[in-house]
Structure 1
Amino acid sequence: MASAAPQAAVLWPFAEMALVLSLFFAVLAVKRGWGGEALIRRGASRVKEWALAAPATAALWVFLALHSITLGELTSDARTEVLRTHSTNLTQLAEHPVSALIGSALWIEIPDLPMVALLAVAVLAPTERWLGTFRTVVVFFLGHVLATLITAGVLTTLLRVETERYVDRGFGSVVDVGVSYGSLCVAGLLTYRVRSLPLRLLTMAALMAGVVASGAFFEDYTGFGHNTAVVLGFLFHPLARPAMARDAARKASSRPPEEYGNRPDEHAGSA
């Protein structure tokens, strides 16, 4: 899940000003017919088409962007407190389980927006176009909730075995928010879109290896949660069967018909 970056508070006012100015000049270019008008219109049209094809993904990204902008306006202490309140740490899961499980997937910080945009374009939107909006939302939140609960269960067990080690690291009140669990679960399920079984298994192995390797950049519990989310995506295979069947039917219908010249002529030899 996402981790905070203190530098964002310093850089955000400049980024905010640059964004506002960019939007202002883009609107002005379209209104007055400047040189880049066609390019801006084309870009806006592509964004609109993408959002209409994957409405849940677009709505999630906008929601996360608004939350991250809100956090960017807060002081460092207030920002940490808001994130901790919406985290899936052991304290919040014990006191406010439902709000922690759902709310933790809807908060990120500004430095995490590019990664979320990449996940939206490369994972969530393609899956939504393939599975449909309903199934994609179900997989995302199931992956997020189950990976969180499994990780919390493992961490609770570790706390009982090695209390000193894990309490000293503050795992009970750590900030743990973001869309990584849900997105990685969706990514695991998306591998079933690869029709060839050997290539699909290779894709699964590559995804798993990449997630395991990325664990070096996260806390132990977050890395474990990422691995769990991917495995859950693999296990959600039944939810992908209708889309796989549809792909197979589409592939079969696109095959060229047999050429009649290869068939014996029924009238051959007739007088």
Structure 2
Amino acid sequence: MERTETAGLPDAAELLDGIPSQRGPTPAARTAPARLRPRHLLPTPTGTPFTFGYAAVLAVTSLVTEYADPDLVHTLLQGSSTDVAHLVRTPVLVLLASGLWIAGGLLAPYTLGFLVVLTALERRIGGARAAVVFLLGHVGATLATEVPVGLAVLVGQLPDSSLHRLDYGISFGVAASFGALAGLLRPWLRWPLLALFGGMLVQDLLAFTDPLSNWGHLFSLAIGVAAWPLVRRWRRVGRAVR
């Protein structure tokens, strides 16, 4: 499951305003338009240590799912699943472990989203705060989708088999991070991106292929948007420190 302003466009420096500039630029350098460097779009060990380290872990676990014994992989994924049965027994363990795997492997769409979105967010608010946003989306959307399932089973609206399912991946955290990052972008870029991503999530929900995960993606996006006042304050604090 993959849980899976008009008046002239701003230059690249405005889009990447969380990236510190070179120290002591000349007057000519200050007036020249900044170039968008590809290295700013992907994580680095020194610039974005949280995203880089997390990506390294995800790369290892993806290789495990690709090349390890299938029975072992199934056991690991089942033990990391945030279904109701596991959430009741070991909630902290599975909430953390479920974020160590990429549903669909390294070629899944959310892999690229993770790298670009988390890198941009960490450059603006810092690694620890980006981790908080990711975790809020990952945990919040998981509970928002699984708790109703448990209650429905309890009152007899769903069968007991609904308590056991494979539920893991990074997509809830990525969706929340995207929502939070949108609040730090210029309005001319923020609203089209939100409309595009939100429209894709609604389309997935209407397709009704995996409604629980699809609702979770919408919940996590809403969590990220709700975090705008917090992430904007964090960015102002980071700029003041720099």
TM over 0.5: yes
Separation in structure 1 between the aligned mates of residue 198 and residue 156 of structure 2, nearest angstrom: 28
Using the TM superposition, give the Cα deviation of residue 237 of structure 1 relative to its aligned residue in structure 2, in angstroms: 1.4
Q: Does 1:208 align with 2:201?
A: no
After superposition, the Cα gap between the structure-2 partners of 1:46 and 1:181, relative to the gap in structure 1 and judged at 3 Å, is closer
2:2 aligned residue: 2
Matches within 5 A, 1:65-104: 65-104=59-98
Q: Does 1:233 align with 2:227?
A: no
Q: Does 1:195 align with 2:186?
A: yes
Q: Does 1:55 align with 2:45?
A: no
1:151 to 145, 148, 153: 145
Using the TM superposition, give the Cα deviation of residue 57 of structure 1 relative to its aligned residue in structure 2, in angstroms: 0.9
| Structure with the higher fraction of residues in helix conformation | 1
1:15 aligned residue: none
Over the aligned positions, Cα root-mean-square deviation in angstroms equals 3.0
The CA deviation string for residues 26-84 of structure 1, in whole angstroms up to 9 with x for no partner, is xxxxxxxxxxxxxxxxxxx9999734221111111110111122233333333222101
Separation in structure 1 between the aligned mates of residue 200 and residue 105 of structure 2, nearest angstrom: 19
2:28 aligned residue: none
What is the number of equivalent residue pairs in this alignment?
204
The CA deviation string for residues 112-167 of structure 1, in whole angstroms up to 9 with x for no partner, is 2133430233211111111111110011111111111111122223334563xx43
Separation in structure 1 between the aligned mates of residue 124 and residue 165 of structure 2, nearest angstrom: 36
CA contact (8 A) 1:3 1:175 kept: no
1:118 aligned residue: 112
Structure of greater Rg: 1
Q: Does 1:138 align with 2:132?
A: yes
Higher relative CO (Cα under 8 Å, sequence separation at least 6) belongs to 2
Q: Identity across aligned pairs (percent)?
A: 29
Question: Structure 2 stretches of 5 or more lacking a match?
Answer: 5-38
The CA deviation string for residues 84-117 of structure 1, in whole angstroms up to 9 with x for no partner, is 11010011101111101111101235x4213343
SS at match of 1:188: helix
After superposition, the Cα gap between the structure-2 partners of 1:223 and 1:72, relative to the gap in structure 1 and judged at 3 Å, is same
Query: Match of 1:151, as an amino acid?
Result: T
CA contact (8 A) 1:80 1:175 kept: no
Q: TM-score, normalised by structure 2?
A: 0.73
Q: Does 1:167 align with 2:159?
A: yes
Matches within 5 A, 1:240-259: 240-242=231-233, 245=236
Question: Structure 1 stretches of 5 or more lacking a match?
Answer: 5-44, 250-271
CA contact (8 A) 2:3 2:214 kept: no
